[in-house]
Amino acid sequence: MKLRPVVDEMQRAFFASDASYDGIFWTGVRTTGIFCRPSCPAKKPRPENVEFFCSVGDAMFAGYRACKRCLPLETDGRPPDWVAALLAHVESAGDERITADTLRELGIEPTRARRWFLQHYSMTFAAYCRARRLQRAFTQLREGVSLDDVALGHGYESHSGFRDAFGKTFGAAPGGSRDGDCIVTKMIESPLGPLIAGATNQGICLLEFTDRRMIEGQLEAIRRCFQMALVPGEHAHLTKLEAELARYFAGKLRSFETSLVAPGSEFQERVWAELQRIPYGETISYVELARRVGRAGAQRAVGHANGLNRLAIVIPCHRVVNASGELGGYGGGLWRKRLLLELERTSQPICGPVARD
């Protein structure tokens, strides 16, 4: 495993644009989805929006794309002409599979490409191509493109093929996770857009709309939180959740029974527990929520805890509104919050895909 400086030292180097650390670590900016080398001259983000990686491969596999200003793929110097031409070919080819025969037609021996990418990017050429395809796929998912169109449009013959690639990108083998458990992930279609769900043996730990901002970073955060790999597959908890969501969107389910696991700070867990006590079809204000958790006047704090809820819909943070009656914020988008509240108010089903306002 490649060693890297301690976080404090990497922060110092990045915010000082210290070029001596180029090639030692790379920096991802959560708010833009871009990764840079330490010496990047661009305006520096807020420290809480930064994470660090040991290699280009780690950054790409976390869903980040290369900065066009500091060119982190060229941290160790501009690549040789044959590599530059190959990188350009990857970009122009889109989702076309680049095979060993394709490389030979370009005058490049596959073993040479493999060695170069392993040495400079810590991943094979095939893995680099897969990461680029997945980055484009995740961008489409965030924009609301259906899972079928994304999976098939990016060269995958089935959902399972896309899930396999998803697992390779966002998680290691299950055997490497704590106590042999892992977070099993699954894409679930809904009338409000695709959701990604995750479950451990204890229960559902993740349910988010795939177009939520920086979903890739959230997946990495939950992997760190649970210290488990994320792998695609089926799980009894996911099967039950999918069935319950179908009934919910049909207006036939008022209370979820799926087991949940939602670790957080003591305050966050109090807030999330109180959210689950808000009756179906009703709303409360942030002011009232703060009062109920024993922190009267701390509506901003409870709002922040709402935003950190990793279990959309089943922990119903959408049922909290401003004191004025306005909807307030919602990580899945206010248009979804409005439709969820309307569904619960009327129990009228959402029968098909809903276009964003």
Q: Which residues are catalytic?
A: 317
For 327, which DSSP code? -
Cβ-contact 131, 60 below 8 angstroms: yes
> Which runs of consecutive H residues, i.e. helices, occur in 184-285?
215-226, 236-249, 266-275
285 bridge partner residues: 321
d(CA 162, CA 154): 9
- Give CA–CA dist 35/66, Å, rounded: 5
Residues 84 and 90: their CA atoms lie apart, in Å, by 10
Residue for token pair 């180029």:
22
What does DSSP assign to residue 319? G
Cα–Cα distance for residue pair 44/156, rounded to 1 Å: 37
CA distances for 200 relative to 5, 138, 203, angstroms = 32, 23, 5
Exposed, middle or buried: residue 54 (CB in 10 Å: 0-12, 13-18, 19+)?
middle
Q: At what angle do helices 110-121 and 125-142 cross, to 10 degrees?
A: 70
Q: What is the DSSP letter of 160?
A: H
Q: 307-338 as b/e, with b when 16 or more CB fall inside 10 Å?
A: ebbbbbbbbbbbbbbeeeeebbebbbbeebbe
| H or E element at residue 118 | helix 110-121
**320-321 and 284-285 as β-strands: parallel, antiparallel, unpaired?**
parallel
What is the number of H-type helices and E-type strands within the chain?
Answer: 14, 10
Cα separation, 5 vs 46, whole angstroms: 20
